[in-house]
Amino acid sequence: MPQQVLRFWETKFSQIQPLKRRGGRRYYRPDDLELLRGIQDLLHVQGYTIKGVQKLIKGSGVKALVNRANALEDGAGSNADDAPSSDTPPTAATRTPNLNTDQNTSRKSASQRDEISSVIDDLKQLRDTLRQYG
């Protein structure tokens, strides 16, 4: 991971606290690395925003992210079911939408699936209309 990314994340996540050695060199302990892996997964794989990850850490704690990182390291892969539990699920403001509807709609109720299908149909119609004029 690039050095500038680590420094930036240190400013955004107070939980990342590497030991500082002589000359200002940072030493990341195994717990720090697990936390970084969990943050990286949430940001780059799951599509969370920095604020979204901050809310998850505040709600479920660092332990949930460390458990996530351990699961990834064990080969469990990244999966929405592995997401840290929180009282408030991620919203559009904290997470980018995953448009893979086949995977996501299986966990939704019938009314939610109908609503999603309706929105998708509307978007397809809008796309077709834009293509006619584009």
pLDDT tens readout for residues 87-133 = 444 444 444 444 444 444 445 566 677 777 777 877 878 788 788 87
Residue 73: per-residue pLDDT? 63
Q: Count CB atoms within 10 A of the CB of residue 36.
A: 21
Q: What tens digit of pLDDT does each residue of 26-66 get? A: 899 888 888 888 888 888 888 889 998 888 888 888 887 77
Rounded CA separation 65/72 (Å): 11
At residue 8, does pLDDT exceed 90? yes
Is the separation of the CB atoms in 71 and 39 below 8 Å? no
Q: Count CB atoms within 10 A of the CB of residue 41.
A: 20
| Alpha-helical regions (H) of the chain | 3-12, 30-40, 50-60, 62-73, 101-105, 110-133
Q: Once rounded to an integer, what is the mean pLDDT over residues 57-86?
A: 63
